[in-house]
Amino acid sequence: KILCERLSIPQISTGDILREAVKNQTAMGIEAKRYMDAGDLVPDSVVIGIIKDRIREADCKNGFLLDGFPRTVEQAEALDTLLKNEGKSIDKAINLQVPDAELLKRLLGRAEIEGRADDNEVTIKNRLDNYNKKTLPLLDFYATRKKLSQVNGVGSLEEVTS
C-alpha cells in the first residue's frame, strides 16, 4: 500500500477480489471458494480474467501493482501475453523474503484480528507448501529477465519499505 501511495497507482489484490466475490456469492466466487477453503490456487483462467478486466479500468492507465499474482510460471507467461496485448509490460517483480515460521505466526495473528476462515494452521501450511512448489520458480523466471527485486520482509514497516 505504501508503494502504491508513493507511485500514485492502484494495488490490485487478486485475493481481495476473490474474497469479495465469495462474500457476494457470485459465480466466480462460488467456483473460487472451494479452492480457497483448501488453501489451493484458484484456476488460472479465473484469475487471468479478473486481472484482464481490472487493468482496463481508468485508474490503471499509469500503472498498477499486482499483489498475489502471478503465483506460477504459467500465470506469469499468461500475464506477459495479456500485458503485451494491452501494450504494457512488467517493470519489476518484488519478492518479500520472510521465513515460513514468521509467516505462520503473522497469518495466525491476522486470523485472530480479521477472522479470516482461510487463515488456520492447516490451510496456511498448505499455502506455504503450494508457494514452495509452484511460486518459488517465479523467482528464476523474473531474475533471468532482470526484473526481480528481493526485499527483506522481516522488520518494522519502516525498515521493509525504505
Q: Which pLDDT value is given to residue 117? A: 65
Number of H helices, E strands in the chain: 9, 4
Q: Which pLDDT value is given to residue 144? A: 97
Cell of 73: 510460471
CA angle 90, 106, 66 (to 5 degrees): 15
What is the CATH architecture of 2-161?
A: 3-Layer(aba) Sandwich (3.40)
Q: Mind listing the pLDDT tens digit of every residue in the chain (162 residues)?
A: 899 999 999 999 988 888 888 899 988 888 889 888 887 888 888 888 888 889 999 999 999 999 989 989 999 999 999 999 999 999 999 999 999 899 888 888 876 677 666 677 888 888 889 888 988 999 999 999 999 999 999 988 888 888
pTM exceeding the 0.95 threshold for the entire prediction: no
Q: Which pLDDT value is given to residue 31? A: 86
Q: Are 55 and 2 in contact (CB under 8 A)?
A: no
Phi-psi bin for 155: left (phi > 0), alpha (psi -120 to 50), beta? left
Q: Which pLDDT value is given to residue 96? A: 92
Q: Which pLDDT value is given to residue 36? A: 86
Q: How far is CA 60 from CA 12, 51, 54, 75, 96, in A?
A: 9, 11, 8, 20, 23
Instruction: Locate the DSSP E strands across the chain.
Output: 11-13, 65-67, 93-97, 148-152
R_g (Cα) of the chain, nearest Å: 16
DSSP string for 83-101 = HHHTT-----EEEEE--HH
Asked whether the bond before 70 is cis by omega within 30 degrees of 0, the reply is yes
